[in-house]
A and B are shown apart, each in its own frame.
Chain A
Amino acid sequence: MPKESENSYVKTVPIGKDYYIEEADGMVSLRGSRCGLCGDKFYPAKTVCSTCVSDEDIHETKIRGRGTLYTCTEIERASPGFFAPYFLSYIDLEEGGPRVLFQLGECNGEDLQFGMEMEAFIGPIREDKVKDGKVLVVGPKFRPVKGKE
């Protein structure tokens, strides 16, 4: 991950407010929501269950940063602020969790197989211009689980 001094970033900021927790054991937990009425889980978190269209029984829940690869692509030319080439994927979060878009990292295109086990880590997503320079935005990305490629 680029260090602030190496790339003259004014600071490093997390993507979104309270999107994730970096656990003591190095795992990443995603801060999502679970609806008690239908059982659906969401990430990012919601205050209204979009399946039930109800806020009757929706609660915050931690979703472990583990899942399987549903689909992915490599973007060759990036829009301003993004680091080309980069991978986008949909990850099926474990235990019937939601199918969510994440960037991938620490992998080669050839190693990626749909259905393979993936784990979350915190990495660079993009850089944003601010008044006095650039800010590095970091957040959850996924990589193949080692030993399960």
Chain B
Amino acid sequence: MDKVYVIGAAMSDFGAFPNVDILETAKDAVWDAIKSAGIKPGDIDMIYSSATKQGSTFGQRALVKIGLTGGTIINVENACASGGTAVFCARNSIASGACDIVLVMGAEKLTGTAGFIPPMLNEYNGSNGYVMPAGGALIAKVHMATYGTTKEQMAKVSVKNHHYGCLNPRAQFKKEMTVEEILASPIVCDPVHLFECCPTSDGAAAVVLCSERVVKKYCSNPVELAASVVKSGYIKPRQDMSMSELSTRAASEAYEEAGIGPEDVDVAELHDPFTIMEIMHYENLGFCERGEGGKYIDEGRSEIGGDVAVNPSGGLQSKGHPLGATGVAQVAEIFWQLREEADKRQVPGAKVGIAHTMGGAVSGADGACSMQVLKI
């Protein structure tokens, strides 16, 4: 299979913009990514568009505004892992030899929906009132009971990520937070506090992927997409909720595909919709042993300057989480980090980065996980 590179990236501001047309935001991100990549629109062979709640043929509705319809446009949905899934599809289209240049766009507008995403009543867990923050809470309780993880350790994830949000001009929240403020915020589902939940967000992002065959024509310092994996969760009658079997497996396959181990990772954009998830993912992605996630953040090992700089963009916690855009924005962040273009939130000397999202929870099993490994 041919190597695949990222040669351009762009994103909109993430935030709450109820009066902004998301189709405009999306097409602006696409146009900026095309310019960033130094390609002509006619060079694009295929487009994948990621969105979850924006209605049918979202990609075409945005792209028609700038005359980019006519070619192959495919709309991708995998809950919060939609963007990562679209990147995976684009990678496959290039690696197979079918395409040289593929654009990936992701967008979401969630403002205007009341509160958190309502349960899906047509499946067992949803019919009983399961909502995503409840999932985070049920998992947090197991991790705390099994390993002694504390609410202070969980709150520190939010402190760290809000601090990095202050350094990211695109972040939804640019406000420092303290452990005390976070633990004083209202409880959503015990033990998860409001300021430990990612916000309701709007935004868009786009990246341009390119084959090894033509990359030299466009880009002198491309970033290699060394691995791209998408998996769904196995359903087990008794699922151990102190870990994610799905994330662990997807990460393991991605590391093998890229020829690296977790010790080689310098920077990670990973899935932190609730603070406990980041702590668990330190373990799932192999940055530390099972049960050591709380200690990992206590010791500063997930900060810029630590072992693995985790979520230097501010993560879902503070940069925001417009579902369809997130996975694409993560790849954009790692692209900038590896090219030393991340300005105030730069991870010094970053050479290997990962982008990881998990999407949806289907009664008894996690829905989807996407994992990318990028190298320069």
Contact = CB atoms under 8 A, between A and B. Distances in A.
Contacts, number: 92
A131 interface: no
B217 interface: no
A55 to B, nearest CB: 15
B115 interface: yes
Interface stretch (B90-98, B187-195, B259-267): B187-195
Interface stretch (B41-49, B79-87, B234-242): B234-242
Given A73-B189, A76-B188, A114 B130 contact: no
Contact of B129 (A76, A97, A103): A103
Interface string B125-139: 101111101100111
Contacts of A77: 115, 188
B366 to A, nearest CB: 14
Contact of B141 (A72, A78, A98, A101): A72
Contacts of B118: 79-80
A98 B280 CA distance: 23
B145 interface: yes
A40 B141 CA distance: 26
B238 A99 contact: yes
A97 to B, nearest CB: 8
Given A79-B129, A88-B128, A74 B190 contact: yes
B363 interface: yes
B361 to A, nearest CB: 10
Contacts of B141: 71-73, 114
Contacts of B238: 92, 98-99
Interface string B117-158: 011010011011111011001110110010000000000000
B348 interface: no
A47 to B, nearest CB: 14
Nearest to B125: A101
A74 B238 CA distance: 22
A133 to B, nearest CB: 18
B237 A51 contact: yes
Interface of A: 15-16, 40-42, 44, 50-51, 70-80, 82, 86, 88-90, 92, 97-103, 109, 114, 125-126, 128, 137, 139
Interface of B: 115-116, 118-119, 121, 124-125, 127-131, 133-134, 137-139, 141-142, 145, 186-192, 235-239, 241, 363-364
